[in-house]
Amino acid sequence: MRQLVCILRGLRMKKSIIMIFLLFLCLVTACSSEKCGREISMNEDTQKLADLELTDFDTEIQNISELRDEEEIESPEEIFSVFGIPILLPENNSWIKNTEYTLIDENNLEVCYYDDISGIDCKLSVIKNGTLDDTTYSYDETLDETWQGDSLAGDTVYVKVQHSVDDGKVFASWEYKNYKFAIQGDIDPMTDTSPIPKTALYIISKLP
């Protein structure tokens, strides 16, 4: 009888040990699964961060490229190359001053300068394959003038000079091949406007 009791007690102890071992295995497996889940989550977050950094890097490279493109088109010679023709103003520092070229796009060019003889700021607009808008002001037709000049290639070009009704604007326009030109400036009744078409004739004389 005592032997049977001892045997039963031994079986119970073995069963307890087995249960404890199984419970330990379950805990280890659960911890491993949780750790794996955290690692997967961390890997996903790391990949997202890397993708974001790569996107920012690509954007920065694009911005740098755009800035380099803008910086590369600075000199008048480079602008003329992109625009297709040279736009040269009189090389007289006592007449034309503070010349600034702005290439808006491959079809639009603006040149701002100060005419020291007329004493006014002027803006030359040149459009390739387009139309210049000169309908902003009303012009006094009795004051219209026509000037004539020849291009470097020997083509005759006519410059139309108009004065606004209120004597506040002068507008000189002409065409050459597929380009349209206009010089405009703010004036008063005492302004000598003749340097405006003279500047136009000089520009025309340098057109190929």
Domain positions in the chain: 1-72, 76-205
Stretch among 9-18, 20-29, 76-85 having the lowest mean pLDDT: 9-18
Average pLDDT over residues 28-44: 48
pLDDT of residue 73: 55
| pTM across the whole model | 0.64
Q: Which fold has domain 76-205?
A: Protein Transport Mog1p; Chain A (3.40.1000)
Q: Which residues contact 184 (CB under 8 A, 6 or more apart)?
A: 122, 123, 125, 169, 170, 171, 172
pLDDT at 55 > cutoff 60: no
User: How many degrees, rounded to 5, is the angle at CA 21 between CA 19 and CA 22?
Assistant: 65
